[in-house]
Structure 1
Amino acid sequence: MKILVVGGGGREHALCWKLSQSPKVEKILCAPGNGGTAQIGENIPVKDDDIPGLVALAKREAVDLVVAGPELPLVLGLANALAGEHIPCFGPSAYAANLEGSKAFSKNVMAEAGVPTSPFRVFDEYEPAVAFIKEKGAPIVVKADGLAAGKGVVVAATVEEALDAVHDMMVKKSFGSAGKRVVVEETLKGEEASFIAFCDGTHYALLPSSQDHKAVYEGDTGPNTGGMGAYSPAPILPEEKYAETAEMCIRPILRHLAAKGEPFKGILYAGLMYTENGPSVLEYNVRFGDPECQPLLMRLTTDLVDVMLACIDGTLDQIEVTSTPQTACGVVMAAKGYPGSYPKGMAITGLDQADALPGVKVFQAGTRLEDGRVVSSGGRILCVTALGDTLRDAQKRAYEAVEKIHYENSYYRRDIAEKGLKRLG
């Protein structure tokens, strides 16, 4: 098989790495890819939002399967466009991808499907949103409806902060068309977990629980990022709770979308908040999380190609999706200054030494190959991931590997997985 992976982050390096382990795979293309994917297959300079370009590439190269890494191409209709050319795509239709592409759509689907989520209102006009916020008070959450590169959510501690957020989104149009509509909802307090399932429109196969670390600094302080590290499993969602949790947040969505004639095929990711009243769904994503993808694929023991094809064919119930009982921990190495402005072009050394450690894999994100060297090209540069028999063991191995890697202006959190270790006691 020839497979095209769309995207260029750490998630896509992990997908290429895992897919390359299948005996069915002869060649992997990645568009646009990064320094890590270039060492597994061939990078093609087509952007992930160029749907006609991606379809043309898939046709020209006669690929057997397209795997969409990020959400943007799915929301823009990549799966639909490929279906029109009879090219299999792992990922949902544009309609189903609105679970991530539109926060209003997602919240309305949750309400219709009976999925527990925080009370909310959707606003298309500025003044009614302002009046509602003044009436409800703070803390309160304001979300731009559309995709805003992970930056369109404000958890406002004061009414003034919430009003500023609405003004930024709806009047100043800081997020462009993504902020034409806003969702205002009650704040949920608690601990988060990620719960991810493969779906074939009717059936689902669960991956182990995981937990992302969004804040840039230790102790979950500072601005939110794309993710500074992740580990799996997350003790807050133990294995004995998986089936019950899936019946709460995965099956109702599959049933609801199937009833609308828009079956969900691909990855369904439920972002959960564990409040004092039990779990509630914060959001849905329609792709692997990054960096949750890296620890989860380190643990996956089933051939990923088989799973993806079963999702496309509607035969997921005929496959057993298994993961190693080992724990995995991934630490993101970033550039100093991220998620604000940061330097690029730093030469990275020690990757081979880190990769050579037992149970360790370094996934590249914001990197490129330059004259045979790996140099930085983004804010999140690497995700150093390790397997271990216990969470403490996996964490120790990951940080030992981090110490082997060097580049100027390096930054990483030193407390990834501490929340899980604290819960384990």
Structure 2
Amino acid sequence: MESGIKRNFLFISRWGESLDIAYATLLEGNLVKMFIEDKPSKEIGFGFVTKVKDWKKHKDWADIIIFDYTGYGKICQQLRASGKIVFGGSEYTDQLELDRNFGHDELQKHKVKIIPSKEFQNFQSAITYIEKHPDSYVIKPCGEIQELKQLLFVGNDDEGKDVIRVLKAYEKSWGNNFGNFQLQRKVKGVEISVSAFFNGKEFIKPVNITFEHKKLFPKELGVSTGEMGSSMFWSKESPIFKSTLQKFESTLAKKDFRGHIDINCIVNGHGIFPLEFTSRFGFPQIFIQRAGIHEPIGNMLYKIANGENFTINVKKGFQIGVFMVVPPFPFDDKKTFELFSKDSVVIFKKEVKEGIHPMHLKNINGEWLITGNTGIALLVTGTGITMRDAQKTMYGRVSNIIVNNSYYRTDIGDRWFDESDKLMSWGLL
């Protein structure tokens, strides 16, 4: 099938995160319907794409069904078994992401080096463990609670005293509702993600190399957010890909996975240490990837879900993206959201929308208004042959936008200048 063919796309979204991709697919000339599961996020996308209340009533209409989150693996498999073309997970890839211990066991099974970690059911046993084995640690919640990104804590103290303090604080505020969590020994180095699309049989090249910026403020200050922005580039080959994801190719083929999978690692002079899987679109990763892909995104997702083998036509150089957010981001506070941010208008000084990706927005008579409840307004992207070019383009676009009370990181991409030298010297670029 060639592009130029109109197809029916059904997007099934957990929190409305895939609006940008759905909207782009519509602008490419396809028909699009979107379902959002989370109630407070229901308004997202209104006025951009057709919204539906019950996706199951539209599955026969769809030429392709796209799931944007983990946890739908079983449904994806059932739909595929019934003959539908589905972009999304499988039960296996869901488990890779959601069950950290399973993910670690699978890495070991596939002969990938991992950082030792230990799971705990309660805070006291973890505190006792650190007192017996002083070191710097990372606290990683398991299961559903890992959605609350600010609970992930990276210790800096060599004896683990800061981690003990945080565990005591969590015990006060969460009690027994925290669930299981892991303590992982902290490894120093460069944090880097490698990801690729998988068509049910093999990985589609090129692979993507991403550097995330998770802290709220520039220079890595403040609380951890899910993400404030990322920089990336596409690569035909990658030693990091070879020693991690590549080893899962035959397993993913057995599980008939058709989607996107990412593994983030800490790398240093001693090796590559995988941390965890994301077996779905990364957010904002997918939007920044789209900025670097030359073909229509809808068409590309269709080909992957349909099991076709091809090479993704990508831009040379770097792609970069920054979130523009409003209160209460990254916190959960209905009152603040309603006071400062609900229905705030996104204003463009010049009517240029290139590199502007709508996030938690609705479109009322052509005005873009903030909705949902988390306060993520836009993702703004830039591309360029050098990282500096990409940064300049992106921040130029940001300066064309007025969103009342908005804030964003001013240093996305700066990590690259220091870290590329290290990666080069370790032979990992």
Q: Same fold judged by TM-score > 0.5? A: yes
SS in 1 for 2:129: helix
Q: 1:325 maps to which residue?
A: 316
Q: 2:274 maps to which residue?
A: 281
Tell me how far apart the structure 2 counterparts of residues 146 and 334 of structure 1 sit (CA, whole Å).
27
Tell me how far apart the structure 2 counterparts of residues 415 and 243 of structure 1 sit (CA, whole Å).
26
2:48–2:363 Cα contact (<8 Å) kept: no
Matches within 5 A, 1:286-297: 286-297=279-290
Q: 2:367 maps to which residue?
A: 373
Q: Which of residues 142, 145, 156 is equivalent to 2:142?
A: 145
Residue 253 (1) aligns with residue 248 (2): yes
SS in 1 for 2:227: coil
Q: 1:41 maps to which residue?
A: 49
Q: 1:409 maps to which residue?
A: 405
1:96–1:263 Cα contact (<8 Å) kept: no
Q: Which of residues 14, 21, 46 is equivalent to 2:20?
A: 14
One-letter amino acid of the counterpart of residue 209, structure 1: I
Tell me how far apart the structure 1 counterparts of residues 314 and 27 of structure 2 sit (CA, whole Å).
15
| Residue correspondences, number | 398
RMSD: 3.1
Residue 212 (1) aligns with residue 212 (2): yes
Q: 2:265 maps to which residue?
A: 272
One-letter amino acid of the counterpart of residue 392, structure 1: R
Tell me how far apart the structure 2 counterparts of residues 334 and 80 of structure 1 sit (CA, whole Å).
36
Tell me how far apart the structure 1 counterparts of residues 185 and 419 of structure 2 sit (CA, whole Å).
27
Tell me how far apart the structure 2 counterparts of residues 376 and 8 of structure 1 sit (CA, whole Å).
18
Tell me how far apart the structure 2 counterparts of residues 3 and 174 of structure 1 sit (CA, whole Å).
44
Q: Which of residues 338, 342, 364 is equivalent to 2:329?
A: 338
Matches within 5 A, 1:13-162: 13-20=19-26, 26-32=30-36, 37-38=45-46, 40-44=48-52, 46=53, 53-54=54-55, 56-59=56-59, 62-71=61-70, 73-74=71-72, 77-83=74-80, 85-124=82-121, 128-148=125-145, 149-151=147-149, 152-157=151-156, 159-162=160-163
Q: Which deviates more from structure 2 when the two are superposed, residues 151-160 or residues 102-111?
A: 151-160
- Where does structure 2 lack aligned partners over 5 or more consecutive residues? 1-6, 422-429
Residue 394 (1) aligns with residue 390 (2): yes
Compute the displacement of 1:422 (Å).
Answer: 4.6
Tell me how far apart the structure 2 counterparts of residues 257 and 294 of structure 1 sit (CA, whole Å).
24
1:196–1:288 Cα contact (<8 Å) kept: no
- In structure 2, do the counterparts of structure 1 residues 271 and 355 end up closer, same or farther at CA, with 3 Å as the change threshold? farther
Kindly provide the CA deviation profile for residues 44-83 of structure 1, in whole angstroms up to 9, marking residues without a partner as x.
3x4xxxxxx43x2433x61121111233x436x3313434
Tell me how far apart the structure 1 counterparts of residues 258 and 170 of structure 2 sit (CA, whole Å).
32
2:382–2:391 Cα contact (<8 Å) kept: yes
TM-score (norm 2): 0.81
Tell me how far apart the structure 2 counterparts of residues 312 and 118 of structure 1 sit (CA, whole Å).
33
- In structure 2, do the counterparts of structure 1 residues 10 and 226 end up closer, same or farther at CA, with 3 Å as the change threshold? farther
Tell me how far apart the structure 2 counterparts of residues 265 and 155 of structure 1 sit (CA, whole Å).
33
Amino-acid identity (%): 19
- In structure 2, do the counterparts of structure 1 residues 150 and 321 end up closer, same or farther at CA, with 3 Å as the change threshold? farther
Tell me how far apart the structure 2 counterparts of residues 334 and 303 of structure 1 sit (CA, whole Å).
27
1:16–1:37 Cα contact (<8 Å) kept: no
One-letter amino acid of the counterpart of residue 8, structure 2: K
Tell me how far apart the structure 1 counterparts of residues 75 and 172 of structure 2 sit (CA, whole Å).
31
- In structure 2, do the counterparts of structure 1 residues 405 and 143 end up closer, same or farther at CA, with 3 Å as the change threshold? same
1:145–1:182 Cα contact (<8 Å) kept: yes
SS in 1 for 2:226: coil
1:363–1:382 Cα contact (<8 Å) kept: yes
Compute the displacement of 1:198 (Å).
Answer: 0.6
Compute the displacement of 1:312 (Å).
Answer: 3.4
1:10–1:383 Cα contact (<8 Å) kept: no
SS in 2 for 1:208: strand
SS in 2 for 1:353: coil
TM-score (norm 1): 0.82
Residue 184 (1) aligns with residue 178 (2): no
Compute the displacement of 1:132 (Å).
Answer: 2.8
Compute the displacement of 1:264 (Å).
Answer: 3.1
One-letter amino acid of the counterpart of residue 280, structure 1: F
Kindly provide the CA deviation profile for residues 190-245 of structure 1, in whole angstroms up to 9, marking residues without a partner as x.
22222110113431023332222111001011111121112222xxxx847x3432
Q: Which deviates more from structure 2 when the two are superposed, residues 411-420 or residues 298-307?
A: 298-307
Compute the displacement of 1:273 (Å).
Answer: 1.8
One-letter amino acid of the counterpart of residue 370, structure 2: S
